[in-house]
Amino acid sequence: MTKDMACFCGSMRRHKKCHPEISTDSLAAKMLSLDSEADTIINSHYSKHNVRPACRKGCSECCSTVFSVSIVEFFLICREMMKFDLKRIALIKQRVLQGISYLNSEHPALLNYFRSDHSDLDYKNMSLKTYELSKGVYIDCPFLAELPNRVRICSIYNVRPLICRISGTSYYTEIEHMYICSHIGANKTIMDCGPSTVDIWSSFIKDILTINHNDTCYRGSVYPLIYWLYLASNDLENLENYLGGERYNKYFQMPYNEAKEKILLRNILS
Ligand code: SF4
Ligand code: SF4
Ligand SMILES: [Zn+2]
């Protein structure tokens, strides 16, 4: 793709006018194109049924549940945070530290799980373990902003992670009765008009999160946004530096296959 062609993010703008600092065949470009494909799949399912999804900007009950995102999604969000002023960064940092302190005192098993090395678990088992440990844990996403009319909205809506796009709009095939939220009820409700998460999630796991090497599948880390922010908490005031150098090269510039090997096999190939 040349820089005159449409951008990978689905904006319909030209790449050089939209995301010129992200190479078209990088891991970050792959993630942004998956987000765009997910939005398209979800929208086309609902329009086919002539139904509006219950999920919309400003609906935020699910933003207090625990879910995990990949590092490349976190870095794309950091890129967005580079536009924030220091006051806004300080507020997010304060929420992160308060949230981690709450987990430490009220839900230490969950926090210890994030801290532990669980790289031996495959994606499915790791997700189930996180799901089990997170039952009954409610903690506001640090990006939730409260408007004067008390409506709470996502302050990074355009770059929100994939899980935030599919939760409530796509159904989980193996857990029909899983509770989603008070607007939707159980997961089963979504089956009438939304796509299956499998249609979207399988590409995410294959293209972003895992790599096969010598007949073994290796997985990258996924954590809740609050925990990624905690790990980067000393760098939030200087994100340009944090996202520069080797990180910028690997996630935003390097050809996708090479970057995946360097990131996901770093402990094997070093
Ligand atoms: S999952 Fe429920 S709470 Fe979350 S955006 Fe959708 S309708 Fe709103
Ligand atoms: S990133 Fe936005 S949509 Fe996702 S949990 Fe946080 S506030 Fe909600
Ligand atoms: Zn773009």
Does the beta carbon of 63 sit less than 6 angstroms from any atom of ligand 2? yes
- The verdict on residue 4 lying in a domain is no
- The verdict on residue 252 lying in a domain is yes
- The verdict on residue 61 lying in a domain is yes
The residue contributing the CA closest to ligand 1 atom 5 is 55
b/e per residue 13-35 (b: at least 16 CB within 10 A): eebeebbeebbbbbbbbbbbbbb
pTM of the predicted structure, to 2 decimals = 0.94
pLDDT of residue 2: 55
Contact 6, 14 (CB under 8 A): yes
- The verdict on residue 2 lying in a domain is no
- The verdict on residue 43 lying in a domain is yes
**Sequential pLDDT tens for the chain (270 residues):** 455 789 999 999 999 999 999 999 999 999 999 999 999 999 999 999 999 999 988 899 999 999 999 999 999 999 999 999 999 999 999 999 999 999 999 999 999 999 998 888 888 888 889 989 998 899 999 999 988 888 899 999 999 999 999 999 999 887 778 888 999 998 889 998 999 988 899 999 999 999 999 999 999 999 999 999 999 999 999 999 999 999 999 999 999 999 999 999 988 877
Strands (DSSP E) contained in 31-143 are 69-70
- The verdict on residue 1 lying in a domain is no
The residue contributing the CA closest to ligand 2 atom 6 is 141
Task: Report which ligand 2 atom has the smallest distance to the Cα of 153.
Answer: 7
* Ligand index nearest the alpha carbon of residue 55: 1
The residue contributing the CA closest to ligand 1 atom 4 is 62
Contact 250, 263 (CB under 8 A): yes
- The verdict on residue 250 lying in a domain is yes
CA–CA gap between residue 6 and residue 34 (Å, rounded):
15
pLDDT of residue 110: 96
Pocket of ligand 2, candidates 59, 80, 137, 164: which has the most ligand atoms within 8 Å of its Cβ, to mutate?
Answer: 164
pLDDT of residue 44: 95
The residue contributing the CA closest to ligand 2 atom 1 is 160
pLDDT of residue 152: 92
Q: Whole domain around residue 195: which residue ranges?
A: 15-269
- The verdict on residue 63 lying in a domain is yes
Domain total in the chain: 1
CA–CA gap between residue 76 and residue 217 (Å, rounded):
25
